[in-house]
Structure 1
Amino acid sequence: MALWQLAKEGVDAIGVEQFGVGHDRGGAGGESRIFRLAYKEGPEYVPLLLRSRELWLELNSLSPIPIFHPCGALTIGRPEHSDLSQVFNSIEQFGLDHRVLSISEMAGIYPQHRLHEGEVGIFDPAGGLLIPQQAIEAAVGAAKNHGAIVLEQTEVLEIDANSTGVAIATTNGTIRAKRAVVAAGVWSKKLLPGRSGRFEILRSVLHWFGTKDPALFMPDRFPVGIRRSGPDSNFSFFPTLDGSEIKCNLHIDKTAVADPDAFDGTISEEYSEFVKDQITGLVQGLDPGRIRAKGYLDGYSADNHPFFGDVPGHDNLTVLSGFSGHGFKIAPAIGEAVAEHVRFQRTTIDMSHMAFNRQMDDKKDLLERNSE
């Protein structure tokens, strides 16, 4: 997204990708992502989400294949739950369009969800389903159309930033530039040890369940969403475009990953059975005999806010890291902010909550670190 925005503004830009464009080995893996405006993570993200939605629609118009499907988004749980309270705070502060649905209304409109007593559904009509691989391909294609150069299957080996510029050593030679933007996800630690912000590499596990009646699980009938119904019943859910499956991400403690290059995404049958027991009790109409699962890599900071800014002491080296849980849905606005920062050393949207030198709570519960 940064490459797209930089190239669109006439900056001579080169994008370097160690794998292929649109790969699933990093934070964009998993076939789909949620977009929400009514945001439980805090109202400071809503301006980024509002701008991102405009840019998602712009990128949609540039892509031969739809990448953003505005089917709306649901948040399900008790109104007094802290996450639902945050959703209501975001709605109130920014006057966001929404609808609060009772158990009976949910049963009539979204019968796939089995609610507990006292729970409600909050429908966010501006939400939707994102297709990450196609979105990345569309953004890179738009960048190329504006003159950007893209080097695929090219690993960055070292970045040397000094007062004269930046030298980027790669497996295909050295690139010299005035400045560099590093958005390397979980590989940031390896690429910039000690200079990429304090974040952990964690494993996220995603499951896909077959559906008995695909028509009931198309995006217009089964919007994306999150649920807060108890320690083993907190999860996010996603339709597939043909309704044949839904994806679920059970929000439980994540395990640390020491080396992203040695990561194995295989999931045990025992864990998949546990997830199946939780999900099939709350989502009706699934085929528990059809299930697949895979692990992915995520990077989370201690306070669950990402890092955006120049490496201290190097004003020509901008780093983006620790974006998991937020990153994909706000990626277009972040890309635009990078372009502003590179060109003008300022951003239109306040990014102070992502500052490198902020105070962080190291005791943040891993339960809340959710890949969406």
Structure 2
Amino acid sequence: MSDGFDVAIVGLGAMGSAAAAHLAARGVRVVGFEAAYPAHPLSSSHGDSRLIRLGYFEDPAYVPLLRRAYENWRKLEQALREEILTLTGVLQIGAPDCDVVLGTKKSAALHGLTIEMLDRETVRQRHPAFTMDEGEVACFDPQGGYLRPERAIAGHVRLAAAAGAQLHFNEAVEAIEPDDAGVTVVSAGRRLRAAKVIVATGPWISRLVPALRPHAVPIKQVVAWYQPEDGFLTVPGRMPSFIRDEGEEGSFFGFPVIGPDGYKVGRHLHLQEEIDPDQPNPPVNDVDLALIDDFIARRIPTGRGRRSRAVSCRYTMLPGETFLIDTMPGEKRIVVASPCSGHGFKFVSVIGEILADLAADGETGLPIAPFSFSALAARTA
């Protein structure tokens, strides 16, 4: 558009900042808006670490995207000259027939991935911080590890700005007005024109995408850090990143010691408590702490009674715990980057590329059919 921008991006968190960097690198005229600042405390992308793994137990359909994500993370590191992805391996523990173990083995078999099956005694020797029940097994994914979310988002923002993107912080978008010639983006301070718009506002997605109001649900998530009695047991190398399937009690995840607070643990989806995204994150309470403390006492006893810190943050869930990456039905000028149901950060580097494809070209060659509006409609019919 001669009188405006090619693409406007609403939300410069994980997905929006990545899209801005990809688009600006292609020479696309980009303007971005962020209601606060990247990785702010009410976002879903702070807290020093996020899991990444290649043997994806949730669904083998994610593996091709993960392969591209790994490539893009390494390219981002080269551009920034900064480490973002650290391989520790991911140890996935549970009963032989649990979802985590069976799903990981299925993904590995379908996509030719390398995993290692470990019994209880082998885990005790290699990774002695963990306790396992008789009969439990572990899948070790050597390509797993963790990402540094704040570094990733800041890096994408820097690259986007350096390539010419115009970025506005502390400026919330109030409306998106499509018409036959493009889209008008309205904030408190300005009205800007663009040919396309990407909406990537996380917990606030329903404000600008009303079709998601019945489906996108922000929930409270809690993580805690523990100081080990024996620090040697929980350093990267001895303690990999991990997922533990606890059956009816859900699954827990965690990371080795990578900072001063100790090793980090949380329960996926925690208590599934809905929250108001416009309010501060709910405080961590005794029920929250007891849930994680009990897990530590049973499964990683080197940290029993040595909790150093706990915080709450937020996931935004869609039915089926899946993603939504698509153009709006009947309105190809609006691209929607969903809240990614508590497991999306590892895909940020590839979702940024996909959003750039959809906004710049109207399509992508990457496999996103399971994440369409029509797939969401089928899941909720």
> Same fold by TM (over 0.5)?
yes
Q: 1:195 offset after TM fit, Å?
A: 5.3
1:247 maps to 264
1:260 maps to 277
- Measure the CA separation in 2 of the matches of 1:185 and 1:271: 23
Query: Any idea what SS the aligned residue of 2:198 has?
Result: strand
Q: 1:289 offset after TM fit, Å?
A: 3.2
> Does the alignment pair 1:97 with 2:98?
no
Question: Does 223-232 or 4-13 show the bigger shift?
Answer: 223-232
2:13 maps to none
Q: 1:287 offset after TM fit, Å?
A: 4.8
Q: 1:116 offset after TM fit, Å?
A: 0.9
Deviations 1:144-199 (A, max 9, x none): 22221211111111111121111111133122111100111011112332357822
- Measure the CA separation in 2 of the matches of 1:113 and 1:318: 43
Query: Partner amino acid for 2:272?
Result: K
- Measure the CA separation in 1 of the matches of 2:162 and 2:257: 30
- Measure the CA separation in 2 of the matches of 1:124 and 1:235: 17
Question: Does 93-102 or 55-64 show the bigger shift?
Answer: 55-64
Q: 1:352 offset after TM fit, Å?
A: 0.6
2:315 maps to 298
Query: Any idea what SS the aligned residue of 2:321 has?
Result: coil
Query: Any idea what SS the aligned residue of 1:353 has?
Result: helix
Q: Which runs of 5+ in 2 are unaligned?
A: 1-17
Query: Partner amino acid for 1:268?
Result: N
1:369 maps to none
Query: Partner amino acid for 1:85?
Result: L
Q: 1:220 offset after TM fit, Å?
A: 2.5
2:83 maps to 66
Asked whether the equivalents of residues 211 and 243 of structure 1 are also in contact (C-alpha less than 8 Å), the reply is: no
Q: How does 1:1-372 map to 2 (within 5 A)?
A: 1-194=18-211, 198-232=215-249, 234-242=251-259, 244-251=261-268, 252-257=270-275, 259-358=276-375, 359-362=377-380
Query: Any idea what SS the aligned residue of 1:74 has?
Result: strand
- Measure the CA separation in 1 of the matches of 2:250 and 2:372: 33
Asked whether the equivalents of residues 101 and 138 of structure 2 are also in contact (C-alpha less than 8 Å), the reply is: no
Deviations 1:274-301 (A, max 9, x none): 3201222101311523332221111111
- Measure the CA separation in 1 of the matches of 2:369 and 2:290: 42
- Measure the CA separation in 1 of the matches of 2:19 and 2:231: 37
Deviations 1:113-161 (A, max 9, x none): 1011111111111111111111100111121222212111111111111
- Measure the CA separation in 1 of the matches of 2:250 and 2:335: 38
Query: Any idea what SS the aligned residue of 1:317 has?
Result: strand
Question: Does 327-336 or 208-217 show the bigger shift?
Answer: 208-217
Query: Any idea what SS the aligned residue of 1:211 has?
Result: coil
The change in CA–CA distance for 1:195 and 1:271 in structure 2 (over 3 A counts) is closer
Deviations 1:301-348 (A, max 9, x none): 112111111111211010111312331001111111111122222212
Query: Partner amino acid for 1:254?
Result: Q
Asked whether the equivalents of residues 92 and 100 of structure 2 are also in contact (C-alpha less than 8 Å), the reply is: no
Calculate the TM-score normalised by the size of structure 2: 0.90
The change in CA–CA distance for 1:301 and 1:195 in structure 2 (over 3 A counts) is closer
- Measure the CA separation in 2 of the matches of 1:234 and 1:9: 40
Asked whether the equivalents of residues 327 and 358 of structure 2 are also in contact (C-alpha less than 8 Å), the reply is: no
- Measure the CA separation in 1 of the matches of 2:303 and 2:360: 50
Query: Any idea what SS the aligned residue of 2:248 has?
Result: coil
Asked whether the equivalents of residues 233 and 278 of structure 1 are also in contact (C-alpha less than 8 Å), the reply is: no
Calculate the TM-score normalised by the size of structure 1: 0.92
Query: Any idea what SS the aligned residue of 1:39 has?
Result: coil
Q: 1:243 offset after TM fit, Å?
A: 6.8
- Measure the CA separation in 2 of the matches of 1:99 and 1:267: 37
Question: Does 244-253 or 14-23 show the bigger shift?
Answer: 244-253
More helix by share: 2
Query: Partner amino acid for 1:49?
Result: L
Asked whether the equivalents of residues 220 and 271 of structure 2 are also in contact (C-alpha less than 8 Å), the reply is: no
Q: 1:229 offset after TM fit, Å?
A: 2.6
Deviations 1:30-62 (A, max 9, x none): 321000111011011001100001111111222
- Measure the CA separation in 1 of the matches of 2:22 and 2:162: 12
Asked whether the equivalents of residues 207 and 294 of structure 1 are also in contact (C-alpha less than 8 Å), the reply is: yes
Q: 1:66 offset after TM fit, Å?
A: 1.8
Asked whether the equivalents of residues 37 and 46 of structure 1 are also in contact (C-alpha less than 8 Å), the reply is: yes
Asked whether the equivalents of residues 162 and 314 of structure 1 are also in contact (C-alpha less than 8 Å), the reply is: no
Query: Any idea what SS the aligned residue of 2:143 has?
Result: coil
